[in-house]
Copies of this chain bind each other. A is one copy, B any other.
Amino acid sequence: MSRFHFEVLATQHRARLGRLQTAHGVIDTPAFMPVGTAATVKAMTNDMIRATGAQIILGNTYHLMVRPGAERIAKLGGLHSFMNWPAPILTDSGGFQVMSLEGLRQINDHAVTFASHLDGKRFELTPERSIEIQDMLDSTITMVLDQCLPADSPNSLVVTAMERSLCWAARSRTAFRRREGYGLFGIVQGGTNASLRERSAEGLVEIGFDGYAIGGLAVGEPQDVMFETLDATTPILPSAQPRYLMGVGKPTDIVGAVARGVDMFDCVLPTRSGRTAQAWVRTGFLNIRNARFAEDAAPLDPTCPCYVCQHHSRAYLHHLTKAKEILGSMLLTWHNIHYYQELMSDMRRSIAEGHFGDFLSEFERLQTVGDAAEGER
């Protein structure tokens, strides 16, 4: 079994090409993790996921603890075995979903208590319990429990939440059972306030983690504010560990964050868009329900080597989405994840070859070309 080991292989300005070794396999960074909320990347078989080039997926602790339950997954051999995905899995702490259960949850320094959205059953989530659950899930990368806030939270609340998150990070570190090839990531909080981010990062580094996530972004703030916060945060993170920007994002968000030194990403966008008839292509995105695609015999993206673009037309995908056919969700999700993986792979190649600047120019040029009609972008 490999030890948990991250290596930066090349850099271009602040962009990094890296390789993360884990107990369940290697992850080439910058990496995008498709979201597999309830032990499934929605509408995808594991073979389809692998065909996109994805090396790691994300599982949601909150969803898994309420159904089918962490104890049950443990009894069935852990999440890799349960869903038959032997490659790496990162699980979140459950905090983000729980915090968003407005009216159903209470939080104090000890724990967050909440009622399941499924049946109202009461749960208590402490930092220790979150670690225990992720251990039962057999997560390759475990995340500490933190307190997440909406983008417009008052400063005093941001300070309290950041300090509480630091305290919880220390408790999580203590609770984490170290195993060869498994890692624990801390989460930098502090909203969009640079000095709070600095305080949070320093506190986490003092505790010591295998990787550092940037939390509390992509919660409604404009892209330039997110980029400013990244500019203030990534330079104060250790360069020897992977950096993970949670819940981000659109392709332009991801490219901008890679340029600012981020290594890992997750987002529901490619999967959710796939179920709402949207396709990401190199020149933007297409709302495939649009009537102009009804007799369009071209593939989604003529340059895309994915299964969907090699086998099916926009006209067919248009029909499937109009008819609300499951196959429409399957094919668009497949294409979208493939698009995201190609984007990451293109960035990795450009960093390796020392052409990341060229990649950036070409990416931005294509975004402005736009295949999509006005109003669709």
Residues on A lying within 8 angstroms of B by beta carbon are: 38-40, 42-47, 67-68, 72, 75-77, 82-84, 294-295, 297, 307, 311-313, 315-316, 319-320, 322-323, 325-327, 329-331
Interface residue from B46, B67, B82 paired with A315 (Cβ < 8 Å):
B82
Interface residue from B72, B319, B327 paired with A43 (Cβ < 8 Å):
B327
CB distance from A136 to the nearest CB of B (A): 14
Q: In the complex, which residues of chain B have a beta carbon less than 8 angstroms from the beta carbon of A325?
A: 38, 40, 42
Q: Do residues B320 and A40 form an inter-chain contact, with CB atoms below 8 A?
A: yes
A297 to B77, CA, bound (A): 10
Q: Do residues B72 and A294 form an inter-chain contact, with CB atoms below 8 A?
A: yes
Q: CB-nearest residue of chain B relative to A308?
A: B45
Q: In the complex, which residues of chain B have a beta carbon less than 8 angstroms from the beta carbon of A326?
A: 42-43, 326, 329-330
CB distance from A283 to the nearest CB of B (A): 23
A3 to B29, CA, bound (A): 55
Can you spell out 6 A-B residue pairs with CB atoms less than 8 angstroms apart? A40-B325, A43-B326, A68-B294, A326-B329, A326-B330, A330-B330
- How many copies of this chain sit in the oligomeric assembly? 2
Q: In the complex, which residues of chain B have a beta carbon less than 8 angstroms from the beta carbon of A40?
A: 320, 323, 325, 327
Q: In the complex, which residues of chain B have a beta carbon less than 8 angstroms from the beta carbon of A327?
A: 40, 42-45
Q: Do residues B322 and A68 form an inter-chain contact, with CB atoms below 8 A?
A: yes
Q: Do residues A67 and B330 form an inter-chain contact, with CB atoms below 8 A?
A: no
A42 to B319, CA, bound (A): 13
Q: Do residues A46 and B311 form an inter-chain contact, with CB atoms below 8 A?
A: yes
Q: Do residues B67 and A322 form an inter-chain contact, with CB atoms below 8 A?
A: yes
Q: CB-nearest residue of chain B relative to A77?
A: B297
Q: In the complex, which residues of chain B have a beta carbon less than 8 angstroms from the beta carbon of A77?
A: 297
A327 to B47, CA, bound (A): 12
A323 to B44, CA, bound (A): 15
Q: Do residues A76 and B38 form an inter-chain contact, with CB atoms below 8 A?
A: no
CB distance from A9 to the nearest CB of B (A): 33
A326 to B48, CA, bound (A): 14
A232 to B225, CA, bound (A): 79
A325 to B42, CA, bound (A): 7
Q: CB-nearest residue of chain B relative to A84?
A: B311
A294 to B67, CA, bound (A): 11
Q: Do residues A312 and B76 form an inter-chain contact, with CB atoms below 8 A?
A: no
CB distance from A355 to the nearest CB of B (A): 36
A76 touching B330 in the complex, CB below 8 Å, given contacts A38-B323, A67-B323, A84-B312: no
Interface residue from B43, B47, B75, B319 paired with A67 (Cβ < 8 Å):
B319
CB distance from A43 to the nearest CB of B (A): 4
A76 touching B45 in the complex, CB below 8 Å, given contacts A323-B38, A326-B326, A330-B330: no
Q: In the complex, which residues of chain B have a beta carbon less than 8 angstroms from the beta carbon of A319?
A: 38-39, 67-68, 82
A38-B319, A326-B326 are known; give 16 further A-B pairs, CB within 8 A. A38-B323, A40-B320, A40-B323, A42-B325, A45-B307, A45-B327, A45-B330, A68-B315, A68-B319, A76-B297, A82-B315, A82-B316, A82-B319, A84-B311, A84-B316, A326-B329
Q: Do residues A295 and B76 form an inter-chain contact, with CB atoms below 8 A?
A: yes
CB distance from A75 to the nearest CB of B (A): 6
CB distance from A52 to the nearest CB of B (A): 14
Q: CB-nearest residue of chain B relative to A320?
A: B40
CB distance from A106 to the nearest CB of B (A): 26
Q: CB-nearest residue of chain B relative to A311?
A: B84
